[in-house]
Structure 1
């Protein structure tokens, strides 16, 4: 009797799980695939790059040119120090604002 009960139970579990899975998939399929963020319309508009004489430099974005310069310089000092470079020689080599 136990074998018959287990077989009856398993005969409805698989179709139930399949139906639930299909219902969840159908709910997601109706939504259009859109990117949450695009680089062109969010974020900071100014960027700067700072490089040391040896080691890795830093690139950073900011709302103003001065903010981007300072952040890139801070990143350069950190990354140059971590990469065995010369953090005290970091200089901003590029700084621009787009549009």
Structure 2
């Protein structure tokens, strides 16, 4: 005697597992760029509301400009205020 409900339940469970496994990789994407090889400086810019941006560069001014550009992009995407982006931290390592 076969069990039609058991095979249906197994197929449903398998489908849900595959669907969840496919969605789980989306949350692990980094929001900030990783430093390029040889980049000594970084800067972080934030808006008054929304997400800010972090960037690396060979010089402090490049890192600051990239950080502001990222801040404007991320603040716009997150419903924040891109016009209020300001660099709040900028450093170079030795």
TM-score using structure 2 length: 0.61
TM-score using structure 1 length: 0.58
Larger radius of gyration: 1
**CA deviation digits over 1:43-82, x for unaligned, max 9?**
3000000000000000000000000000000000000000
Number of positions where the alignment pairs a residue of Structure 1 with one of Structure 2: 59
Give the CA RMSD over aligned residues. Answer: 1.3
Unaligned runs of at least 5 residues, structure 2:
1-33
SS of equivalent residue, structure 2 residue 91:
strand
Say yes or no: does 1:54 pair with 2:13: no
SS of equivalent residue, structure 2 residue 65:
helix
Runs of 4+ in 1 over 3 A off after TM superposition: none
